[in-house]
Amino acid sequence: MEDTVLKVEKFSAFFGDNRVLKDVDLTVRRNVVAALMGPSGCGKTTLIRCVNRMHELIPGAGVAGKMTLVDEDIYTMQPIILRRKVGMVFQKPNPFPTMSIYENVIAGYKLNGIRMAKSELDTIVERSLKRSALWDEVKDALHRKGTFLSGGQQQRLCIARALAMNPEILLLDEPTSALDPKSTSQIEELFVELKRNVTMLLVTHNIAQAARVSDVTAFIYLGELVEFGPTEKMFTVPKDKRTEEYLTGKFG
């Protein structure tokens, strides 16, 4: 299907003999924010780490089943090609400390050995910083270190760095959990804006955040996908009792 970005079929993930994801089926369409929710240790982060194949870097880790990104099998692609198409933003902002703001944005091109004229790089930097709503704040300080920015600005710089490669999907692992409420709110507004151009898979333990920014939500519990569907529907009439109990704070 044209508008499917990520398709996960009967997908399991392992650490040694421990099965941490169990036969997950999930389809994420283009230009949506899909939230992954569930208690700590349920497998949310493992799932997104399988999408960019970081899971397999852990000794003893394994997978079974199928995962496709825009009709290409993720596990037959070269990881370096895959990671150009899959952007990743982590829990704590992590701009490269020795690099300027400008160098941080184009780091993906440099690390991949992609050579470009300076004018092209200038365009990518400006476009990416505009898309991450940071341009106006840093346009006169592009050659200062990214680490002089506030936490929220650093996270938007990391989003700009991920967007610079024009990914098919952006993976966000609790991207606001280390930020103050104002920065969190700015980044949530940004997600709503960004989904016009990029699909997002957002791991969040913040139920209110999932309600505010996501179009669809997956609830994962003990490695199992309990429920997946439109966020509004799940939050008002969950199909599964476990979803309801999680959303009402009975556990989590």
CA pair distance 9, 11, nearest whole angstrom: 5
Q: How far apart are CA 127 and CA 179, in angstroms?
A: 24
State CA 60 to chain mean position distance: 24
Under-50 pLDDT residues of the chain: none
> What CATH number does domain 4-247 carry, 3.90.1580.10, 3.30.70.1450, 3.40.50.300, 3.10.20.440?
3.40.50.300
pLDDT at 251: 76
Domain ranges, ordered by start, for the chain: 4-247
Residues sharing a CB contact under 8 Å with residue 4, sequence separation 6 or more, in sequence order:
27, 28, 29, 30, 70, 71
pTM: 0.94
What does DSSP assign to residue 168? Answer: S
d(CA 84, CA 22): 27
DSSP 34-58: EEEE-STTSSHHHHHHHHTT-GGGS
Find all residues with CB under 8 Å of 167, minimum gap 6, and list them. 84, 85, 86, 87, 198
Q: What is the tens place of the pLDDT at every residue in 18-31?
A: 999 999 999 999 99
Q: What confidence score (pLDDT) does residue 252 get?
A: 67
Here the tokens at position 143 are 């050659």
